[in-house]
Amino acid sequence: MSYNIETIYNKRIGAKAYYIKHQSGLSIYVMEMDGFTGTSAMFGTKYGSVNTTFKTVNDDDFITVPEGVAHFLEHKLFENEDCDVFKLFAKTGAHDNAYTSFDSTVCYFDCTDNFTQSLEILLDFVQKPYFTQETVDKEQGIIGQEIRMCEDNPYRRVYFNLLSAVYKNHPVKIEIAGTVDSISKIDADLLYRCYNTFYNLNNMVLAVAGNCRVNEVLAVCDKMLKPSRNIDLECISPDEPEEVASKMITQKMSVGIPLFAFGFKASPSNGRQRLKDEYISSFLLSLVFGQTSRFYQENSASGLINSSLESETLDGDGYFVNILTGESRDPERLKELVIREIQKVLNTGIDEAEFEMLKRSRYGSIIKSFNSVSGCCSRLLETHIGGCGPFDSVDVLASLTALDINEGIKKLLDPNRMAVSIIYP
């Protein structure tokens, strides 16, 4: 069978990947990595915990399903009617696993031998769901126990309390596994409906990297994939106000020192703009609050913070928030100092020499990441789900300037859109 194989090449780093839109509807990316013995494959769908409201050409209107269905489905996919998926992979020597995030669900394997056999197993079991009410009831108990354990974890609680303070309506504030109440509403019929909606191959992507050849991957796909009709899937997020839902949420748990999470709500973006906002956020958080910053050195020396201080950017469809987490003996005092530091940087701008040094370091890290088979595979899949090309991040980073960082402060670290979560002893 003949395919239009698109070559995607990046001159900056000399990296190349292939893209194919398969006749089944599936998007396929392959990166042939000469000299590597291992191969990674990831089969994912653009279906995560936030995708609770959706419609297709078969629906008269949008429907909303309980939180936690995407994660529930991930668990159930490995239980086929006629085989044990883990045993099948064990026979090929591949290491397999899966995960559900806010925006995607991915099944994957890594191997050094028997690549085509392992790829056949991956494509086969993901396309053969098997649910009964009996197995669903059993899984509800298992996942319910998992949810209760998370509720007892103060580090997860301070984090999701923060998301509840930042977001009034968006489902990102709910644990990926859902709640005990929401998963109690899941039955076999609902799982099949969501599976048939989101595991349509037109909504999915296969990424392969390492010791492989594109024609080898396509031969397996031709053999294993079942043609899918495009059902025009559309997902929407609830209307979300610009301001945070709550300025502060506090809770008492069994901790030795108060835990804090500070969140700065920002407007969500898409595609390359989202990549740019992610990089700007990352630079700001490192330059202003990172371990080499004046803020960190001064407040660490005073004992107000310790080495637990971390930062991250959480973003996806309809949400974008920059987060600081850690331990502090006086988190409310720390909050005031964080706001003051942001105002200082807003007035003076970042140190351009520090920015250039950090930019070179980040660029080196990106180049190094292309020496990892699993890293390349993950990049192929995640950039597609995020609406970008495999190498867009390289070009976006290379084009960033100190002016971009300074202009991003007000938009991405706005104290007027700040929420606070604290767990006190």
- Cα 410 to the center of its chain, rounded Å: 25
Report yes or no on 243 lying in a domain. Answer: no
Q: Is residue 347 part of a domain?
A: yes
DSSP annotation of 246: -
Consecutive H or E run containing 251: strand 248-252
Whether 256 and 375 share a structural domain: yes
**Confidence band for 80, pLDDT divided at 50, 70 and 90:** confident
Pair 162, 293 in one domain: no
Burial of 200 (0-12, 13-18, 19+ CB in 10 A): buried
171-214: pLDDT as tens digits: 999 999 999 999 999 999 999 999 999 999 999 999 999 999 99
pLDDT at 366: 92
Position 408 confidence tier, pLDDT thresholds 50, 70, 90: very high
Query: Domain of 349?
Result: 248-424
Chain segment 89-123, per-residue pLDDT in tens:
999 999 999 999 999 999 999 999 999 999 999 99
Query: Total structural domains in the chain?
Result: 2
Residue 358 CB coordination number (10 Å): 19
* 386 occurs within a structural domain: yes
The answer to whether position 242 is within a domain reads no
Query: Which ranges constitute the DSSP H helices of 93-235?
Result: 115-126, 133-151, 154-166, 180-183, 188-198, 214-224
- Decide which of 201, 235, 269 is a domain's last residue: 235
216 is catalytic: no
Residues 129, 67 share a domain? yes
- Name the active-site residue from 32, 67, 74, 175: 74
d(CA 331, CA 158): 12
Q: What is the CATH number of the domain that holds 365?
A: 3.30.830.10
Whether residue 398 lies inside any domain: the answer is: yes
Burial class (CB in 10 A: 0-12, 13-18, 19+), 100: buried
Which of 175, 202, 235 terminates a domain? The answer is 235
Check whether residue 202 and residue 259 sit in a common domain.
no
Residues 331, 400, single domain; the answer is yes
Are 213 and 288 found together in one domain?
A: no
- Based on the fold, state whether residues 386 and 341 are members of the same structural domain: yes
Q: Is residue 67 part of a domain?
A: yes
φ, ψ for residue 43, nearest 5 deg: -120, 110
User: Are 76 and 190 within one domain?
Assistant: yes
DSSP letter string over 54-112?
Answer: EE-TT-SS-EE--TTHHHHHHHHHTB-SS-BHHHHHHHHT-EEEEEE-SS-EEEEEEES
**272 is a domain residue:** yes
Check whether residue 43 and residue 173 sit in a common domain.
yes
Overall average pLDDT of the 67-80 stretch: 93
259-264 mean pLDDT:
98
Domain end marker among 235, 265, 280: 235
Amino acid identity, position 394: V
Beta bridge partners of 55: 234
Both 89 and 168 in one domain: the answer is yes
- Give pTM, 2 decimals: 0.96
221 lies in the same domain as 252: no
For 349-382, what is each residue's pLDDT tens digit?
999 999 999 999 999 999 999 999 999 999 999 9
Q: At 294, give phi and psi (nearest 5°).
A: -60, -40
In a domain, 240, yes or no: no
* Same domain (yes/no): 191, 320: no
pLDDT at residue 82 is higher than 90: no
Helices H / strands E in the chain, number of each: 15, 15
What's the rounded Cα separation, in Å, for the pair 25 and 3?
13
